[in-house]
Each structure stands twice: as structure tokens, then as C-alpha cells.
Amino acid sequence: NDYYIITNRHVVVKQDNACTNIKLYLGSINLYLPCEIIAYDKKVDIALLKVTTEVLLSVARLGDSSLLKKGRFAVAIGSPYSLESYFNTVTVGHVSSPSRLINEDNYFYKDLTNEYIQIDTTINVGCSGGGLFNLEGELIGINTWKLYDSKENIDNMNFAVPINLVKDLFVHY
């Protein structure tokens, strides 16, 4: 069976070089499976991977991020710090903004505006590429980054790429 995995580009591409030895960790059965990068987008920081296995895997239903409302619950899943020790850590919070446009300077593009789901659901280092779900269990975003600035007393501002944007990018796959 072929399965497709959505994650962040920065998780599988380092300094503009695609990683060639990517393995999907299945913590519930303590198994690593080789995957390949099918496509990625630098601007949006999203990648699509493919894994082939005879192991029957659970598959997330894709939601509709255009239906998100401020104040709705959001559930983030990721594996912070140590993949095997903290596999599939879950944090719960709320949607602060369903469509936050952020102008950012990044390594590849100057003055780029991207759309994100802003959440107060905690995203720790290592949770990049994990899923953001609604209470119906639908994937509504891909956890991407957090804003933290101790000098400005900013904390718990976290961001996910909306799943509708991901669908638009990878519609041909």
C-alpha cells in the first residue's frame, strides 16, 4: 500500500538539499519505514512524502480550513525533542485566528506574505510537520512555527499551514 505524508519542507530539506535517507517512525509498533520526497514548496514550507508498506496504517481525514472559526478547539500532534521518547505528544488549545496573514523575511524570499492558522495550542521544537486537528478528528493544518520573544514578553503564539493551502499545492498527487 502507498501512503502519503504531509510535513514541513524544513523537516526533510536541509540547506536546499533534499534528504535521501528519510524514515517514517511508527511509534505504536516501534518501526521505521523508508520514505521518499514526492514534492515540496519552499514558500509555504510544506513537503509531500510517500511510503510503501504492507502494514495497515491509520489515515487522517482532511478537513476544510476555510470553515475554521476563532475560539474553536485545536489539537496539535507532534514529537518534540526526542522522537522515540515523546512520539505523538498531544496539546490542546484554541484557534486564535483562522487566517493570519504574516509578512515575513525568510531565507528564500524577501517580503513574503503567507497565510497561517494562529493557535495557542503549544507547538514545541520538533513538532514541526505534525498535524493540527479539529475536534472531529479532521486534519486542518500542519504545525509549522512559533513566535517567542522573551524581551517583548511574547509566548504561546503558534502557527500552522492551513490544510486547504496544502490541498491546492498538491492537488495533482
111 CB neighbour count, 10 Å cutoff: 8
- In order, the DSSP letters of 86-137 are TTTEEEEEEEEEEEEEEEE--SS-SSEEEEEEEE-S---TT-TT-EEE-TTS
Q: Which SS3 state, helix, strand or coil, does residue 167 take? A: helix
Query: Does the active-site annotation cover 128?
Result: yes
Q: Per residue of the chain (173 residues), give pLDDT as tens.
A: 999 999 999 888 877 777 778 888 887 788 889 999 999 998 889 999 999 999 899 899 999 999 999 999 999 998 877 767 778 889 999 999 999 888 766 555 556 678 899 999 888 877 888 999 999 999 999 999 887 666 776 777 899 999 999 999 998 88
Task: From the candidates 10, 97, 99, 120, give the one annotated as an active-site residue.
Answer: 10
CA–CA distance, 91 with 112 (Å, rounded to integer) = 29
Task: From the candidates 45, 65, 79, 96, give the one annotated as an active-site residue.
Answer: 45
pTM: 0.87
Query: Does the active-site annotation cover 150?
Result: no
Grid coordinates 498535524 are at which residue? 131
Task: From the candidates 65, 79, 96, 128, give the one annotated as an active-site residue.
Answer: 128
Query: Does the active-site annotation cover 82?
Result: no
